Amino acid sequence: MSWLLYRNEEMLMLGSDLVMYDEEFKQIDTELNRLLAQANAKVVFVVDKNGQLIAATGETENLDTTSLASLTAGNIAATGGMAKLLGEKEFSILFHEGQRDNIHISIISQRVILVVIFDQRSSLGLVRLRVKKSAEVLSGIFGQLLKKVETGKGPGKAADSPFAEITDEDIDKLFG
């Protein structure tokens, strides 16, 4: 499920809307860029478990990142279903090897998915090593974000919210 609401063991379960603020977004972006460089990767992105793309960096111009995000989440969900059937909590790393490009997928803090796409300029070993380090950093940032949302300290609650004064007319306009 989603993000806030209840704590279970050491993890934060997901339970309401995912919210992203500027400060954390920048931190995530910085970390993804560092990972991109250190792992010699082509593309790095994070997706939430429901398939929403959170941030992406690298050679994304000709890449359909929205679809990739959705399929990644589907992939993780299906693998998670398999894990459950086997009595495993989850399979935290997936790796797909192609002729040219490879995809390394890992779950961070049981709530977001980190995806690294790389080719022969890098190697699985290097990617795994760098992902491990970045996972810790990203986990910290997402923890901080959750805390902010939980305590309602982030901007954009009440008055700043895009929904505060939304009208039927606003919604009708969406469909032209």
Partner 1 sequence: MSFINYSSREINCKIVYYGPGLCGKTTNLQYIYKKTNPDSKGKMISLATETERTLFFDFLPLALGEIRGFKTRFHLYTVPGQVFYDASRKLILKGVDGVVFVADSQIERMEANIESMENLRLNLAEQGYNLDAVPFIIQYNKRDLPNVVPLDELKKSLNPKGLLDFEAVATDGTGVFDTLKSIAKLVIMELKKGQEGG
Binding site for partner 1 (CB under 8 A): 1-3, 14-22, 24-26, 48-52, 54, 64, 66-67, 70-71, 74, 77-78, 80-81, 152, 154-158, 161-166, 168, 170-176
Residue 69's contacts (CB-CB under 8 Å, 6 or more residues apart) are 45, 47, 51, 52, 53
* Nearest distance in Å: CB 129, partner 1: 29
CB of 77 to partner 1, least distance (A): 4
**Shortest Å distance, C-beta 121 to partner 1:** 27
Q: Which long-range contacts (CB under 8 A, 24 or more apart) does 64-73 make?
A: 68/115, 69/45, 72/47, 72/105, 72/113, 72/115, 73/47, 73/48, 73/49, 73/113
- By C-beta, is 132 or 153 nearer to partner 1? 153
Q: Give helix 124-151 / helix 22-38 axis angle, nearest 10°.
A: 170
Distance of CA 64 to the CA centre of its chain: 16
Taking the least distance from each CB to partner 1, the nearer of 125 and 152 is: 152
* Residue 102: φ, ψ to 5°: -125, 155
Which CB, 20 or 93, lies closer to partner 1? Answer: 20
Q: How far is the CB of 45 from partner 1 (least distance, A)?
A: 14
Nearer to partner 1, 44 or 112 (CB): 112
